[in-house]
Each structure stands twice: as structure tokens, then as C-alpha cells.
Amino acid sequence: MSVQPQRVFVTGGRGRLASLVADYFRAPAHAVTLFSRDAAPNFRSLEALLDPAALAEADAIFHLAWSTLPATSEQFPGSEAQHDLPYLEKLLAALAAAPNGRRVRLVFFSTGGAVYGDAPGRPSREDDPCRPIGAYGRAKLAAEQLIAERAARDGLSCVVLRISNPYGYPVPSNRAQGLIPHALRCSVTGQPLALWGDGTARKDFLYYTDFLSALEQVLAHELTGTFNLCAGESHAVGEVIGLVEREIGRPIALRPQPAPPWDVHDSRLDNAKLVAATGWRPQVALAEGIRRAAVGYAAH
């Protein structure tokens, strides 16, 4: 399916993932505008997005802005209720106030494993009960519920993407998220890698080019509802570390520590609904994705 050029707004614009999304969707395919909490030469403020005149300039909004990560959500309890959920409510109200002929499509970036909790003996599907075990997952689920309620009441065009773990792009060393980039960095530098638990926890890892191509299909097919955006297969943390060591050719010094109680041990996600709706399928297997990611680190 060909994708018609659209005017795409991306919130959370200073984040690395948002910048990847913006670069992927830029002209000539789309016109992209970045929004962040504070305005700057290359960013408009989030508050400006609530202006009807600003919304009139958009066809779709990728809403990535969020104040926490799973770890920081536990460190700063209530942050999402103070910042993220109130803003989302205002954004949904602004979208609902737009003329029916100019309804903007909202794509909300939720979380896969954290929303579901541990898998129910098989990969989690979109119609499974959500049992988040951490504050981050509970806050994202609250956001999903706000979106579902407002979309049903006001006829909004919204899609919620429950995303697994994109990888393959640089992540700051002080960011408390991203096993693969941190393992690559530690393998190259010799710094120890913090290992939560015994390495048997399972996660779904999605190479970033597959993640971006899925977003393109979400827009092209004008999806609404909730979809898992994931590789559809999970791997143990210990297996991932072994793949990184093999590619870099150096062992990783591990610093074992107890797994946080909020970290999902068995995260498995089913991508069949998104595949059926769009024809999209992930193209990069984990070993190949790690090989590609390792090329840049090995050159250092």
C-alpha cells in the first residue's frame, strides 16, 4: 500500500526514539514537526499543540512524550498523574473539539510487557487482561483507558501501540533502559553490566527499522484500536548477552543484583493482530540485529 504524504506531529521530540521517528517520516514523504516540553528553535512546545490552529496543521500525531521510564516511575511515584495523564486529557479534549472533517489521527505509544505483566503461559494478546506489576505499566494502562473512553464518546481516530523493546540505535549510558545497547557498550569498554536476576527473564526485542516500517503501515492503513508492536518472539537476557559477546568478541563482566519487583520476568507478545491488519512483518532477527548494532560499537 502506498503511503500518501501527511503532516506528522511528533511529541517527546528530544528523545532518541522520537528523533528516529521524525527522521524516518521527513520530507518528501511527510512534513514533520517536533514538540517538546520546552520550546526551542527546532521544537514547538507541548502546550502549543493544544491550540486548535496548531492541530489544524496536522494529519497525525505520534504521541511519545512521557515523563518516566519503568525505573524512574518507581523512583518518582505519581509523576505520570501529575504530568502525563493531565496533558493527555487536554490533548484528547482538543482533538474532540476539532471540526469532524478535520479529526487528527492520534498514535499513542504505550508499552507491551509492562502493561500486560507476566505472560499467561503463551504470548500476550490485545484482548488479554492487563495485570501490570509496576507503576509505569499502571500509568500507561490508565492512559490507554482515557484514550479508549474519549475515542468511543467523541468518535476520535486513535490507535494504541503496545511496543516491546526497540533496539539498534544509540542510547545514553545514563539511561536506565535498553539491555542491548548497554551490553554492547560494556562489552567494548570493559565496564560491568548490571544484571537483574539470573538472566532467565524473557523480553521481546524489535529492531528499530522494523519498528519504523510498522509505524508507516499503521498510518497507511488508518488503524484504530490497540495493537502489539513487537517481534513476536522473546529471548532470555542471558541469551542476549551471549549474542553480544559473540559479535564483539569480548566477554562482558556482569554485576548481578536482585531483579526489581516491578520488572516483568516473562514478557511475551503476540503480533498476529497487527500482521493481519497491515501485512507488516518484522524482517530482522535478533542475532542479525545485534550484528548490525555491534558494527558501530566494534569500530570504536
Exposed / middle / buried, residue 85 (Cβ in 10 Å: 0-12, 13-18, 19+): middle
Q: Is residue 34 part of a domain?
A: yes
- DSSP character string of 36-68: ESS-BTTBEETGGGGSHHHHTT-SEEEE---S-
Q: How many domains does the chain have?
A: 1
Residue 212 has what pLDDT?
A: 97
Residues 275-293 pLDDT 10s: 999 999 999 999 999 999 9
In a domain, 200, yes or no: no
Inside any domain, residue 56: yes
Identify the pLDDT of residue 200. 96
pTM: 0.94
In a domain, 294, yes or no: no
Q: For position 296, what pLDDT does the model report?
A: 65
pLDDT tens profile 237-284: 999 999 999 999 999 999 999 999 999 999 999 999 999 999 999 999
Give the CATH number of the domain where residue 36 resides: 3.40.50.720
pLDDT under 70: residue ranges of the chain: 1-5, 100-101, 172-177, 296-300
Give pLDDT, residue 298. Answer: 56
Residue 123 belongs to what domain range?
7-168+205-231+263-282
Residue 183 placed within a domain: no
Residue 217: CB atoms within 10 Å: 17
Amino acid occupying residue 56 = A
With respect to residue 267, please indicate whether it lies within any of the assigned structural domains: yes
Within-domain flag for 299: no
189 DSSP 8-state letter: H
Residue 30 belongs to some domain of the structure:
yes
